[in-house]
Amino acid sequence: QEIRKVVQALEQTAREMLTLLQGVHQGPGFQHIPKKCQKAREHFSTVRTQMESLKTKFPADQYYRFHEHWRFVLQRLVFLAAFVVYLESETLVTREAVAEILGIEADRERGFHLDIEDYLSGVLTLASELARLAVNSVTAGDYSRPLRISAFINELDSGFRLLNLKNDSLRKRYDGLKYDVKKIEEVVYDLSIRGLNKEATVGVGGEK
């Protein structure tokens, strides 16, 4: 019961952050990315407080006994942290960095930690969100972003191909990554057909 209460609070914080970050998909949302990321970072301080509370609700050596209670919300929080870091720097957040953002450990031996499969699930959710962002970028007239997203997702896909995924739910999630790659490739191809990718490439070069 005590664990459930804290998990519900974490779920509420995660919902608020998701609502906030969904704003980047709207037309003028791209201009407000830094502000939205900053606000999301403030929410993560609430998450860290809630995590501290969760750690006190069960014996440290019984993490996996109660893992199912917070597994889903933890994966959602990993995705949100990964999305914020991507929007800020267009890089993939490491498991260690996510653990730090959430106020938990990366190392299993040190107590309440970020399980590797929870981290990978969160990253796969990020891929779906970026596929959606690629489509909405074109609508907003930002033609260089889909090219950068495409390069990022292809690299991510290559990384996942190296893994021997035994977990069934994680395997199913990984199968979804293939569709995300295809969806983004279609966006890039469409830009190419319309001659907009040349304009985008010039824009990318100019930014550098």
Among residues 149, 1, 153, which one has the least CA distance to residue 66? 1
Q: How far is it, in rounded angstroms, from Cα 165 to Cα 15? A: 29
Where are the domains positioned within the chain?
1-194
CA–CA separation, 142 vs 4, rounded Å?
42
Which one-letter DSSP state was computed for residue 141? Answer: T
Which residues belong to the annotated binding site for Mg(2+)? 129
Model pLDDT for residues 78-134, shown as the tens digit of each residue: 999 999 999 999 999 999 999 999 999 998 888 899 999 999 999 999 999 999 999
Q: Which CATH number fits domain 1-194: 1.25.10.10, 1.10.3720.10, 1.20.58.2140, 3.30.1360.120?
A: 1.20.58.2140
User: In the structure, what pLDDT confidence band is assigned to residue 205 with cuts at 50, 70 and 90?
Assistant: very low
Residues with Cβ within 8 Å of residue 120, at least 6 apart in sequence? 160, 163, 170
**pTM for the full model?**
0.91
Give the pair of three-digit tokens for residue 132.
């959606």
Closest to 95 measured CA to CA, from 71, 120, 76, 75:
120
pLDDT, one tens digit per residue, over 14-43 is 999 999 999 999 877 788 899 999 999 999
Q: Could you list the residues known to form a binding site, using ranges.
A: 129
Given phi > 0 = left and psi -120 to 50 = alpha, else beta, which region is 58? Answer: beta
